[in-house]
Amino acid sequence: MASYCTTQGRARAEIVEKKSRFIATVQHVETEEEALAFLDEIRSEHRMARHNVYAYVLRENGRVRYSDDGEPQKTAGMPTLEAIQHASLTDVAVVVTRYFGGILLGTGGLVRAYTQATQAGIAAAEIMRISRCIDVLIEVPYSLYEQAQRLASQHGAQTVDADFAAQVALTFRMLDGTQEPFEAALTELVRGQCPILESDPYDAPFAAPGQADSSAPDAAPNLT
């Protein structure tokens, strides 16, 4: 069951190496256009910096790009890229801005500094796992609400919405391919009296009950 890890929003961290400041800015991006727009934004913010080294990894067309931006070849962009890949992240762009401190670091020092700055930026970022999910929707009487919630927990489903009206309209998120036993248990619970709707599969942050996931639910996908 395919899943991948990425960052949420933007994060920033800074290290200092022999008076040079290395500022790593990490951004979630999903297209090359977004990555390049992010790069332009950071370049504009740090116009006085000596270097704005970057790397990004995208799921879109398997795109991977990096630039040393004037640093000696393979001492900056490649270490930045390798730090992203070592963290097993995708749909991520990192720009490491260097304000030169007047002391040359040498090739080994540059590799270490850009690696450490990128690692610090990633450590400051919120990492989320994206999985192929589906939503299961059902309306149940109030008397069956708690039982439906228990079934969801037992089958690895996450409650993402509950609308209390004449009945309780429940929306559960779970990994695509795991829904059949849960839907069978729900059907038995309501004795076949309440229709069950299932969404098309979609990619979303997911954590089964008992796992941490601070990501907000996505907008409701199309239903079939």
CA–CA dist 187, 169 (Å, integer): 15
Instruction: Please give the DSSP secondary-structure letter assigned to residue 30.
Output: S
Residue 195 has, within 13 A of its CA and on its CB side, a CA count of 4
Helix or strand run (H / E) with residue 153: helix 145-154
Asked if the structure places residue 38 within a domain, the reply is yes
* Cα–Cα–Cα angle for 186, 172, 206, rounded to 5 degrees: 135
The band of 3, judged by pLDDT with boundaries at 50, 70 and 90, is: confident
CA–CA dist 85, 52 (Å, integer): 19
Asked if the structure places residue 224 within a domain, the reply is no
Provide the angle, in degrees to the nearest 10, between the axes of the packed helices 106-124 and 77-86. Answer: 40
Instruction: Assess whether 21 and 96 both reside in one domain.
Output: yes
Quote the pLDDT of residue 220.
35
Instruction: Assess whether 147 and 108 both reside in one domain.
Output: no
Residues 147-178: pLDDT tens digits? 999 999 999 999 999 999 999 999 999 999 99
User: What is the value of pTM for the model shown?
Assistant: 0.78
Residues 45-55: pLDDT tens digits? 999 999 999 99
Question: pLDDT averaged over the chain?
Answer: 92
The count of structural domains within the chain is 2
Look up the domain containing 171 and give its range.
131-205
